Each structure stands twice: as C-alpha cells, then as structure tokens.
Structure 1
Amino acid sequence: MLVYRITKATYADRLVASGGAARWNSRGQFVIYTAATRALACLENVVHRSGEGLLDNFRVMVIEIPDTLPVVTIAPENLPDNWFDFQQYDACQRIGNDWLRMGQSAVLRVPSAIIPNEWNFLISPSHPDFSRIQLLRTEPFTFDPRIKG
C-alpha cells in the first residue's frame, strides 16, 4: 500500500517524526502522519497551516507500507461523539498513545477528521516493523494559489 505525506522539502528526505502533539498523539510521542491519497495529504496541510505557510517549498513523500504488515484500524463508530472536534483531542490522543504503548503494529489506520470515509495512516518509528516501511521517492508539490489556508 502506498501512503502520502506532504511536508516542507527540508524534511522530505527521511521518515522522521517530530514528537509534537497532534490529534492522535501527545507531545513526546513520535508518530509520522500520512494519508491514503495526495489530495487528503494536501487538505491536511491546508487545515493545519496558515495561508502564508503554504508558500514554502514542499514535497510529496511516497511511502510504501508492505501489504503483509499488520495495520490496526480505529473505526469511527468506536470513537466518542464529535471525536473530530478540537475539544476531543485528548480522547483521540489517548487512543493513539495506547496504540504506541501496546506496540501491536507499526501502522494505525484512523479516520480523517476532514473528509468522512477517508483515512490517514500513522506510522510508529519505534516499532520493530518500521524498518520494513520505505520512502520510495519524493515529488515536487506546490499548493495551488487559489487554496487559502
């Protein structure tokens, strides 16, 4: 399976996580966020960056997750009501932190908070299977100037 991450060109040459807090992890928990499509990866950037932040030099990271690798899925129906609201970050972070702590898989499939029925894939760099996940290539990416962050 291929997944995609759009990031500043400076960080696009390797699979690393910042450890910054996000929807599915608390600060200090290292997770690489990817999306099922380039389009979803683009939208994720648009909602998390200001319009000015879309002017930098970006790349699409094309990442291969072997089909033989186990993937844990968090189904929307198993999440709290309004899980996608910012006020529910703590509930989602607990789920992601538990996944990291239990170490069942290197990949967690989570619903997109932006587009219903779309999926993001979280990758744990500390999992033993992480070495099987490969950055295949990077591609140039420019946000269309009509997109406003």
Structure 2
Amino acid sequence: MIVYRLASGPYKDDISGTGARLFGGRWNSKGMQVLYTSSSIALCTVEIAVRTPLHSLPMDYFLIKVYIPDDLAIYQIPNEVLPQKWDVLPHGDFTQKLGDSFLKKGNYLIMKTPSACVEGDFNYLVNPFHPDFDKVKIIETKKFEFDSRLFS
C-alpha cells in the first residue's frame, strides 16, 4: 500500500510521529506518538488546507510517498462507534481516546480512520512502536507546490 503525507522541509524525512506527539491531533492526545498519512495526495492537500489560515499559502512543503506492506492487518474504526459530530472543530477527546487506545494496545501497525474533511476518504495512522514499523519506508520525497486558489 502506498500512502502519502505532506510535511514542511525540516520534517520531510521524519516518519517517527514526533510532531503528533508534541502537538496532539484528532486521533491522538499530546504525548502519544503516531504517524499521520492519507490515502491520496488530494486528501493530504485538503488536510493541510483546513488547518491553514486563508490567504496564507503554505511554503516549503514536500510530498512524501510512504510504502507499507499490503500483507499487514489494518484496524478500521467501525462507523457505528463514532458519535454524531465527531468530525467538527474543535474536536473533542473521543477520537483521541480511540487513537490512544489503538497505540497503547499495539496490536496493529495501522489504523484506518475516516477523514473529517472529505467524506468517504481515509487517513492511515501508523504506530511507530509496532514491531513491523521497520517495514514502513519512504520511497519518494519531492517538492510540493500548493495551488494558490485553495488559499484565496
């Protein structure tokens, strides 16, 4: 499986999940280390755009293509577990608790989560402490230019 992420220059080679540990996210509490990836380049772009102030074109970004072996089991959050409005901002701690539990149990390398930005699309969270994490590889990194129309 190929997944994608967008990262600014200083973090283009970092797939450790340190940024998520430092700041937390929708699917992890601050202090819980996890790598956020997306199913498509378009979803990565939207995920950045919704967190960027209007008229602030993100600069110095790189597209990172990440390989994850297809034979690894993926944990998928059942839709019926998610409460109504789980996808609003600011997000509550319900989704963080789900992600934290996934990381603490350590049964799976990957957790497939629905995108809060694009219905029907998915993000893949990768546990950097899972024994199979050494199979996760960056296979390409290239400069990424955002379309300015997204931020005007």
Q: TM-score range by the shorter chain?
A: over 0.9
Q: Any idea what the Cα deviations from partners look like across 1:95-116, whole Å, max 9, x if unmatched?
A: 0000001111111100000111
Q: CA RMSD of the aligned region, Å?
A: 1.5
Number of aligned positions between the proteins:
149
Q: Which residue in the other structure is 1:143 paired with?
A: 146
Aligned partner of residue 26 in structure 2, secondary structure: coil
Q: Cα offset for 1:88?
A: 4.4
Q: Which residue in the other structure is 1:4 paired with?
A: 4
C-alpha contact 1:8 1:56 (8 A) present in aligned 2: yes
Inter-partner Cα distance in structure 2 for 1:51 and 1:12: 24
Q: Cα offset for 1:87?
A: 5.0
Q: Which residue in the other structure is 1:68 paired with?
A: 71
Distance 1:126 1:112, change over 3 A: same
Q: Which amino acid aligns with 2:97?
A: R
Inter-partner Cα distance in structure 2 for 1:83 and 1:54: 28
Q: Any idea what the Cα deviations from partners look like across 1:34-66, whole Å, max 9, x if unmatched?
A: 100000000000011224653321110000110
Q: Any idea what the Cα deviations from partners look like across 1:65-87, whole Å, max 9, x if unmatched?
A: 10011110013232111111235
Any unmatched runs of 5+ in structure 2?
none
Inter-partner Cα distance in structure 2 for 1:25 and 1:126: 14
Moved more, 79-88 or 111-120: 79-88
Distance 1:29 1:59, change over 3 A: same
Percent identity among equivalent residues?
Answer: 32
Any unmatched runs of 5+ in structure 1?
none
Q: Cα offset for 1:24?
A: 0.2
Using the size of structure 1 for normalisation, the TM-score is 0.93
